[in-house]
Structure formats: structure tokens, C-alpha cells
Amino acid sequence: MSNNFKKINVKDEARVELHDALDLTGAEISINILPEGANVPFVHSHKQNEEIYGIIDGEGHAVIDGETVPLAKGDWLRVSPAAKRQFFASQHSAIKYICIQVKANSLQGYTATDAEIM
């Protein structure tokens, strides 16, 4: 078995952090489920990490720096480190989302510039 990859299976839990499970070295990724009417019980920001949120299922909203941002399946959202944020499921739908946390301004290459064609 190659040491160049690691595969896991994630069940439908309220929150799963993949950093340790996948031995991640450049990002933190979590999968989150808020039941209908629920919310993340705190407002938070970061010192240096931006967050990218992808809505996998359901709907809700985020409050970012006092602005309400509607969220629905298929939406993607980038939030800068300093932004104050809190997430809410709608009153009639749970929301399932992935959160990718990476150091802001750290991307030096991406698919087109970092890939090596064999």
C-alpha cells in the first residue's frame, strides 16, 4: 500500500474534523451538520486562516460582520480571517456543509501551475 495517500469514510456525524484522520499538512477540513433551527453557538474569527464553506445539503444562513448571507445547497463562500461569523440552519431544514481552513495568502500554485503531467 502506498504511503502517498490515505482514505477514510465519514459517517453523518454532527462534526467531523479531518486534520488528524487524514494526516493533513496544509489545511483543516471539517464536515458539519446543523439540525433544523440549530446554530453554531458562538461567533468567531481567525488570526490568519481564511475559511471556505461549501453547502452540501439543506439551507440556512451565516451572519458575517453583521450581514446576513443566505446559504443553500451548491453555494460556496470564502470568509477572510478577520471577519466575525456565525452559522445557522433554517427553521425548516438542516444544513450540511464542509469547511476548509487554510492560511490566507499562502497559495503559491494550483492545478494549472502546480501539476506535473506524466
pLDDT at site 99: 96
Domain boundaries, given as residue ranges, for the chain? 15-105
Distance between CA atoms of residues 83 and 64, nearest Å: 6
Q: Give 3 or 88, the one with higher predicted confidence.
A: 88
> What is the pTM for the complete model shown?
0.88
Distance between CA atoms of residues 74 and 41, nearest Å: 24
Average pLDDT value for the chain: 92
pLDDT at site 1: 60
Q: Please write the tens of the pLDDT for every residue from 13-51.
A: 888 889 999 999 889 999 999 999 999 999 999 999 999
pLDDT at site 35: 97
Domain at 15-105: CATH code:
2.60.120.10
Distance between CA atoms of residues 102 and 107, nearest Å: 9
Residue 77: CA atoms inside 13 Å, Cβ hemisphere, count?
A: 24
Question: Helix H segments across the chain?
Answer: 111-114
Q: Please write the tens of the pLDDT for every residue from 76-94.
A: 999 999 999 999 999 999 9
- Answer whether residue 109 shows pLDDT above 80: no
Q: Give 101 or 105, the one with higher predicted confidence.
A: 101
